[in-house]
Structure 1
Amino acid sequence: MLYTFAQEPAAVASSAVSGGNKSREDQAFREKTRKGKTMGRIIKALLLLVILGFVGLTGYAYLGDLAPVQGEVKKPVVLNAN
């Protein structure tokens, strides 16, 4: 049993009949099979950016200087100004 996933059976039969005009048919076949891969690549890239952003934010939260500046504040308060 021979499995061929590179070409459809109709493309194989038509290329055998045409007598060697394989490059044009191969190009048309590749364009037809690559039609839906662009959206998959965009989704993978977006997922990668989300993961990298989450890792970067987590690293900044742990390693960044987020301690508040502490200091004494003195303000005069006027009571019963009559």
Structure 2
Amino acid sequence: MSTPLTATAAQGREAAGPRRPGATAALGAALLGFFVITLDALVVNVALPSIRADRLGARRTFGVGLVVFVAASAAGFLLRPAAPA
């Protein structure tokens, strides 16, 4: 024979284990990241016809973007604050 379930909602939560304080923030960050990726894909697909008609050409535009990205990354690396000893 089985016994009837008499656990309350509070007892059910205790049985599930302690809550982790950062779990909600992590879920929010993951959902926000997914939203940003989806929005980025939408914007790129809408802008793609205009991008194909640029004056510089795809190869030159990519090269300029790559150089700007590398220069900004190097500047951020070189201008970082010194680590405490």
- TM-score exceeds 0.5: no
- TM-score bin, normalised by smaller chain: 0.3 to 0.5
Larger radius of gyration: 1
Q: Which has the higher contact order (CA 8 A, sep 6+)?
A: 1
- TM-score for both structures, normalised by structure 2: 0.38
